[in-house]
């Protein structure tokens, strides 16, 4: 599976209503046998949002945000899925077929990467239902 940033944000932000459920799911995912993909866009979104004072009431320092990422990347089941030229073709097809624009483009990018690697997206974002051929799960449901 590939993980969307929203689940990571909920897992580390104790003020989020979804925190306990997300934290428990994330800990189980990291200690499980299945591969857990952290795409660069997920990593970047996590660091960007957790360090942004207009988004998070008590933002993390960049070093603190990165320490979460570094810890996750040290777990054996975690991998960074590479994007390729095939990802670009899949993304273009998704954009054409769905008309996704604006804030849906990052979701389409993650969907394209998941399709390329043949894995599901773990997310709390129901917008992934818009993308044909992508499997997605909401572990908070």
Per-residue pLDDT of the chain (141 residues; tens, 9 = 90+): 999 999 999 999 999 999 999 999 999 999 999 999 999 999 999 999 999 999 998 999 999 999 999 999 999 999 999 999 999 999 999 999 999 999 999 999 999 999 999 999 999 999 999 999 999 999 999
**Domain region containing 120:** 85-134
Q: Give the pLDDT of residue 69.
A: 99
Do 29 and 63 have their domain in common? yes
Evaluate whether residue 98 is within a structural domain.
Answer: yes
Q: Is 77 exposed, middle or buried (0-12, 13-18, 19+ CB in 10 A)?
A: middle
**How many structural domains is the chain composed of?**
2
Other CB atoms within a 10 A radius of the CB of residue 118 amount to: 7
Phi and psi (nearest 5°) for 123?
-160, 155
Binding site residue list for Mg(2+): 4, 107
Q: Give the pLDDT of residue 83.
A: 97
Do 25 and 94 have their domain in common? no
Q: Give the pLDDT of residue 46.
A: 99
Q: Are 41 and 110 in contact (CB under 8 A)?
A: yes
Do 51 and 100 have their domain in common? no
Q: Give the pLDDT of residue 104.
A: 98
Q: How far apart are CA 133 and CA 69, in angstroms?
A: 29
Binding site residue list: 4, 107
């Amino acid at each position: 599976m590939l993980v969307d940033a929203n689940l990571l944000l909920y897992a580390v932000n104790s003020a989020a209503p979804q925190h306990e459920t997300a934290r428990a799911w994330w800990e189980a995912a990291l200690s499980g046998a299945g591969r857990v993909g952290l795409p660069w866009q997920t990593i970047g979104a996590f660091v960007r949002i957790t360090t942004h004072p207009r988004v998070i009431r008590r933002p993390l320092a960049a070093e603190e945000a990165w320490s979460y990422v570094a810890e996750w990347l040290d777990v054996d089941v975690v991998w960074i899925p590479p994007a390729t030229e095939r990802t670009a073709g899949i993304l273009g097809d998704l954009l054409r077929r769905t008309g996704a624009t604006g804030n849906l483009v990052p979701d389409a990018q993650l969907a394209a990467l998941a399709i390329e690697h043949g894995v599901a997206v773990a997310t709390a974002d129901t917008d992934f239902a818009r993308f044909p051929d992508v499997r997605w799960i909401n572990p908070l449901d």
